[in-house]
Chain A
Amino acid sequence: MKIKKGIAVSPGVAIAPAVVLDTEEYDIPMRHVPVDRAQAELARLQKAVAVSKKEVLDLKKHTAQRMSKETAKIFDVHLGLLSDKVLQKKFSETVLSGCVTAEYAVATVLRGYAKEFLAMPEYLAERVKDVYDIERRLLRNLIGQSRQTLSHLTRDVVLLAHDLTPSQTAAMDRTHVRGLAIDAGGKTSHTAIVAHALGLPAVVGLNDLTADTEAGRTVIIDGYRGVVVIEPDEKTVDEYRLFAQQQTEFIHSLDALRDLPAITRDGHEVTLLGNIEFPSEVVTVLSKGGQGVGLYRTEFLYLGSDTEPTEEDHYRAYKHVIEACEGRPVVIRSLDLGADKYTQSRARTPERNPFLGLRSIRFCLQNLPIFRTQVRAILRASVGSHVSLLFPLITNLLELRQAKTVVRDVMEDLEEEKIDHQRDIPIGMMVETPSAALQCEAFAKEVDFFSLGTNDLVQYTLAVDRANEKVASMFSVAAPSVLRLIKEVIRTGQRYDVPVSLCGEMAGDPLYTALLLGLGLTVFSCAPPAIPEIKKVVRSITMEHARGIARRVMSFDSDKETINYLRSEMRNILPEAYAE
C-alpha cells in the first residue's frame, strides 16, 4: 500500500482499478503489466506496427511524384525496419519476458539501437533519425490505441495520467471513469475543470504517481484531502467507503435546495448559472438548480473530433443547448482554443509561448472562416431565445471592435440570404487579463456584459502557470492584486450598468461566495455539481454580513490571511462543510 499526497482539486472519493495513461513525451517510465496481460500488450505492439507500416506506405504513395529518389529510399528504410523480423523478435522478447508495456518495449529496444548508431561515423549515424522516427510513429499509434481504450471502457476505473489534455477528456468514456489523479497540474488546471463539471474526485500535482502505479491495481482517490492510495489494504478501503457514504449524504441534503430561490437572508437575489462543455450537461445544470448556462465552452466541438466542425455541427450543438434550457439564458463563448494541437499544428513553427500567443480570439481574428462559421451558427440558432455571445481573451479595444465587426458582417450576410437570425444578440467579453481589467471603463462603454475569467486572470496577473506543479501553490484567487482587479471590474460594471458575472472556478468555490457577494457580484456561473453548495451559502448569510467580510478581506496583504479568515467565517456559516 502506497500513500501519495497531492493537491485536492475536486471533492469526492473513488475506489476502482487504475487505467494509466502515458504521455506523448519521450521519457516513458518503467511500466509493468501483470503476467496475464503480457500477451495482450504484444498484440497491441504488433497492431501498432501494422498500422505504422500502412501509414508509411500511404505516405510513400502520395509523395512519390514530388520526391527525389533519395527521399523515397527513406520510406523504404522505414518499411524495412517495420518489417524487420529481428526487431519484431526483440520487441516480443522484451514484452513477454519483461512483462512491460508495449510503449516501454518500443522505447527501450529502439533507443538501444539508436545508441549504437550514434557511435558510428557521421553519415552512418544519420540512421539514428530513422530509428527515432519509427519510435515516434509506433508510440503515436500505441497512444492512439489507448485513447481508443479510453473511450470504450467496460468497467468502472480511475484515470491516472501525467497530464490530461482536453482532447483526451473529450474522448473519455464518462460513464465509467470514477476519479482522476494527475502527476502535473495545479488547482485550476484543465483536469480540475473537467472533474468539477463531472462531479468526479480529482487530485493533481502528484509528481511521480504514474511511474509508481501499475495499470489494473486498485487505487483510492480522496478528492477532499488530496490523497491517493495505491493498492489499499482492507482496513483503508473500509474507512474510505464509510467516509464516502457520509459525504454522499451531505450532498443529497443539498439537492433539496434545488427548487429554492438563491436569495440572501435579507432578500437580495443572486443568479446561479452553470458552466458546460457539452450539450448533454444542461440536464445536470438544471437538476442542480442552475438558472441557465453562464458559460458554454465551445472548444470541445473542435477537440472532440478529428475533423473541423461544420456550420451544421455548430448549429446542432447550440440548438440542443438552447432547447434544453427552455428559454433560460445561455451564454455562448466563441472559440477559446490555444496552446493545443489545433492551433499549434497549424502554425508553421510551434509557438514558444502559446499562452501568450496566437490563441483564442486572436486565432479567430486571424482565421476568419473558422470564426465566421461559428458566429453564423450562433446567430441562426439563437432566434427567439435568450442567448448572448461572449468573446474570450480580449485585451484591447481594437480587438473587441474587430470581433464585433465580424458579427455585423455575418449578420449582413444572413440578412441578404434571408436566413432567420438573432439580430440584437447581447455581446460581452471575458475579463481575464490585467489589460482588460485595468481598462474596463473603456470596455464598459462597448459591451453588453462582462464575464470575469478568474482562472486566466490569476495566471496573467500573478505570472504563474496554473498547470506547473512547481509553482502551482503560488496560484491563488485570494491574492490581493487579483481581488483588487475583480472589485474594480464589478464596480465599473455597476457604474455603467453593465452586468458582471464570474465564470471561473472561483464561482464554484463556496469559500469565496460571501466575499464575492460583498464585493457586489450577483451572477455566478460554475460547474453544476457546485451550484447547490453555493446556493446554500447565499441563503445562509445577509448582504450586510457579506459586505463586512469583503471590507475585511480587502484590507489584507496576502492570500494566506484572506484564506484563513474566510475559512473561519465559513465555519460559522456552513459548519457541516467546514468542520475539520
Chain B
Amino acid sequence: MEIINKYGLHARPAMQLVETANRFSSKIELSNGTLAVDAKSIMSVMRLAGTKGTILIISADGADAQEAADAIVALVNDGFGEMDEG
C-alpha cells in the first residue's frame, strides 16, 4: 500500500495505525523496503519515516491476520482521514 496523505505517517496517523494494530491478536509487521518493524510499537512505526509516496508492505500472522491486514490497509488507503484537509 502507498501512503497517500500529505504529511504521511506523522504523530496522529502513526498513533492511529498502532492503536488499530493493537486491536488484533496477530503479530503484524510493517516494512518500508529497508526496515521491517512491529506495527504495535509506536516507536518502531515512527522509525519507518513514512512520507507521502512511501510504499509499505504489511504482513500479519495469527488467528485474525486477514482482519488485521485489511483494517490497516483501509486506514492507509483512506489517507488516515486527512484527504480532504488541503
Contact stretch, chosen from A31-39, A75-83, A95-103, A200-208:
A75-83
Is A265 on the interface with B (CB-CB < 8 A)?
no
- Given A84-B42, A86-B41, A87-B41, A73:B47 Cβ within 8 A: no
CA distance A70 to B43 in the complex (A): 19
Query: A121 and B51: CB pair below 8 A?
Result: yes
Q: Give residues of chain B (42-82) contacting chain A, Cβ–Cβ below 8 Å.
A: 42-44, 46-47, 49-51
Residue of B nearest to A87 (CB): B43
A-side contacts of B23, CB under 8 Å: none
Is A398 on the interface with B (CB-CB < 8 A)?
no
B-side contacts of A84, CB under 8 Å: 41-44
- Please pick, from B8, B12, B42, B47, the residue contacting A116 in the complex, using a CB distance under 8 A: B47
Residue of A nearest to B38 (CB): A86
Is B28 on the interface with A (CB-CB < 8 A)?
no
- Given A117-B46, A121-B49, A127-B46, A85:B7 Cβ within 8 A: no
Name the interface size band of chain A.
20 to 34
A-B contact count (CB 8 A): 54
B-side interface residues, number (CB < 8 Å): 22
Residue of A nearest to B9 (CB): A124
Shortest A579–chain B CB gap in Å is 63
B15-54 contact mask (Cβ, 8 Å, vs A): 1 or 0: 1001100000000000000000110111110110111000
CA distance A81 to B45 in the complex (A): 11
- Given A73-B12, A77-B15, A121-B51, A113:B43 Cβ within 8 A: yes
Point out which of A84, A116, A120, A123 has the most chain B C-beta atoms below 10 A from its C-beta: A84
Q: Give residues of chain A (15-71) contacting chain B, Cβ–Cβ below 8 Å.
A: 70
CA distance A73 to B15 in the complex (A): 8
Is A256 on the interface with B (CB-CB < 8 A)?
no
A-side contacts of B44, CB under 8 Å: 84, 86
- Please pick, from B8, B18, B19, B37, the residue contacting A124 in the complex, using a CB distance under 8 A: B8
B-side contacts of A126, CB under 8 Å: 10-11
Query: B40 and A80: CB pair below 8 A?
Result: no
Is A74 on the interface with B (CB-CB < 8 A)?
yes
A112-136 contact mask (Cβ, 8 Å, vs B): 1 or 0: 0100110011011011001000000
B-side contacts of A80, CB under 8 Å: 15, 18-19, 42
B-side contacts of A124, CB under 8 Å: 8-10, 46, 49-51
- Given A73-B12, A124-B8, A81:B49 Cβ within 8 A: no
Query: A123 and B49: CB pair below 8 A?
Result: no
- Given A86-B43, A87-B43, A77:B11 Cβ within 8 A: yes
CA distance A120 to B11 in the complex (A): 14
A-side contacts of B37, CB under 8 Å: 86
A-side contacts of B49, CB under 8 Å: 120-121, 124
Point out which of A74, A116, A117, A124 has the most chain B C-beta atoms below 10 A from its C-beta: A124
- Given A84-B42, A85-B40, A124-B9, A113:B15 Cβ within 8 A: no
Interface of A is mostly: helix
Shortest B52–chain A CB gap in Å is 10
Shortest B53–chain A CB gap in Å is 11
Residue of A nearest to B19 (CB): A80
A-side contacts of B19, CB under 8 Å: 80
Residue of B nearest to A127 (CB): B46
CA distance A116 to B44 in the complex (A): 11
Query: A85 and B41: CB pair below 8 A?
Result: yes
Query: B47 and A113: CB pair below 8 A?
Result: yes
B-side contacts of A70, CB under 8 Å: 12
Shortest A487–chain B CB gap in Å is 65
Shortest B68–chain A CB gap in Å is 16
B-side contacts of A81, CB under 8 Å: 42-43
A-side contacts of B40, CB under 8 Å: 85-86
A-side contacts of B18, CB under 8 Å: 80
Residue of B nearest to A116 (CB): B47
Shortest B23–chain A CB gap in Å is 14
B-side contacts of A86, CB under 8 Å: 37-38, 40-41, 43-44
- Given A116-B47, A121-B51, A77:B8 Cβ within 8 A: no
B-side contacts of A73, CB under 8 Å: 11-12, 15
Residue of B nearest to A128 (CB): B46
- Please pick, from B15, B38, B47, the residue contacting A76 in the complex, using a CB distance under 8 A: B15
A-side contacts of B14, CB under 8 Å: 77
CA distance A76 to B38 in the complex (A): 18
Point out which of B14, B19, B43, B46 has the most chain A C-beta atoms below 10 A from its C-beta: B43
Query: A123 and B43: CB pair below 8 A?
Result: no
A-side contacts of B12, CB under 8 Å: 70, 73
A452-475 contact mask (Cβ, 8 Å, vs B): 1 or 0: 000000000000000000000000
Residue of B nearest to A110 (CB): B43
A-side contacts of B41, CB under 8 Å: 84-87
Residue of B nearest to A125 (CB): B49
**12 CB-based A-B contacts, threshold 8 Å:** A81-B43, A86-B37, A86-B40, A86-B43, A87-B41, A87-B43, A117-B47, A121-B49, A123-B7, A123-B10, A126-B11, A127-B46
List residues of A whose CB falls within 8 A of some B CB: 70, 73-74, 76-77, 80-81, 84-87, 113, 116-117, 120-121, 123-124, 126-127, 130
With A76-B15, A84-B44, A124-B50 given, can you name 8 additional A-B contacts, CB distance below 8 Å? A73-B11, A80-B19, A81-B42, A86-B40, A86-B41, A86-B43, A113-B47, A123-B7
Query: 8 nearest interchain CB pairs?
Result: A86-B41, A80-B42, A120-B49, A84-B41, A73-B12, A84-B43, A87-B43, A77-B11
